[in-house]
Amino acid sequence: MLELVKAGGWPMIPLLLLAVLAAAIVVERFWTLRRKEVLPPGLGQEVRTWATRGQLEPAHIESLRRTSPLGELLAAALDVRNRPRDQIRERIEDSGRHVVHRMEKFLNTLGSIASAGPLLGLLGTVVGMIQMFLGILDSGVGDVNQLAGGIGKALVCAAAGMIVAIPALMFHRYFRGRIADYVIEMEKEATALVDALEARHPRPAVRPVAAPAAATAGA
């Protein structure tokens, strides 16, 4: 492995740094985006029970907000529980954008690594080819070692760029899909909570106003 890195030359240094950074991001995202950390089991039902029984003290809501992304979303709905349904949903959407932004932390960096890896590999390929042709210019085609060294550097860098980029791209897509699934489930839990709040405090039905009776003709 070390010999391949040496054969690739200096373009291998940024590729190795990108590989280490991508691995760190993948491990961190796997740990942060665990299902039980984002969507704690039974949390939605527990909060709906609070709403049904009227156990909505400020301390409960603040504790809920700190538990998880789902807890933060449900706490945002409880903060405005006495407002009309449209305003509650608007607050949920505003809070949801912040929650999703935090769950997507470092994913842009991972996507950039997936894009930069092949470019750095191509750079190493170009450098290797340049060295190869300069060697041919100086020594002619008779120096097989110089020719093989240039071709080897080009191939090693190109392969290393792909090795860094392909896993980074796959994990980037994977985490995007996982977050999208979480968002759908959080929306379902938030909608169920709004329904529970509305069932506890139903809006009074608006009765149609009867049209005044037509005035009789003058006597």
Cα separation, 182 vs 124, whole angstroms = 40
pLDDT in tens, 130-144: 777 776 666 665 556
Q: What is the pLDDT along the chain (219 residues), one digit of tens a residue?
A: 566 666 666 778 888 899 999 999 999 999 999 999 999 999 989 888 888 887 678 888 888 889 899 999 999 988 888 888 888 889 999 999 999 999 999 999 999 999 999 888 888 888 777 777 776 666 665 556 666 666 767 788 888 889 999 999 999 999 999 999 999 999 999 999 888 888 766 554 444 445 444 444 444
What pLDDT sits at residue 197? Answer: 82
Domain that holds residue 98: 2-199
Tokens read off for 89: 């949903």
The number of folded domains in the chain is 1
The answer to whether residue 210 is domain-embedded is: no
The answer to whether residue 37 is domain-embedded is: yes
Q: Is 42 left (phi over 0), alpha (psi -120 to 50) or beta?
A: left
The DSSP output letter for 154 is H
Backbone dihedral angles phi then psi of residue 153, each to the nearest 5 degrees: -60, -40
Tokens read off for 174: 């994977």
Tokens read off for 212: 């005044």
The answer to whether residue 204 is domain-embedded is: no
Can you tell me which residue has the tokens 């070692």? Answer: 145
The answer to whether residue 208 is domain-embedded is: no
The answer to whether residue 214 is domain-embedded is: no
Global confidence as pTM: 0.78
Cα separation, 130 vs 126, whole angstroms = 6
Q: Is 25 left (phi over 0), alpha (psi -120 to 50) or beta?
A: alpha
Q: Which amino acid is at 203?
A: R
Cα separation, 104 vs 29, whole angstroms = 9
Helix then strand then coil, % of the chain, to nearest 5: 80, 0, 20
The answer to whether residue 11 is domain-embedded is: yes
The answer to whether residue 212 is domain-embedded is: no
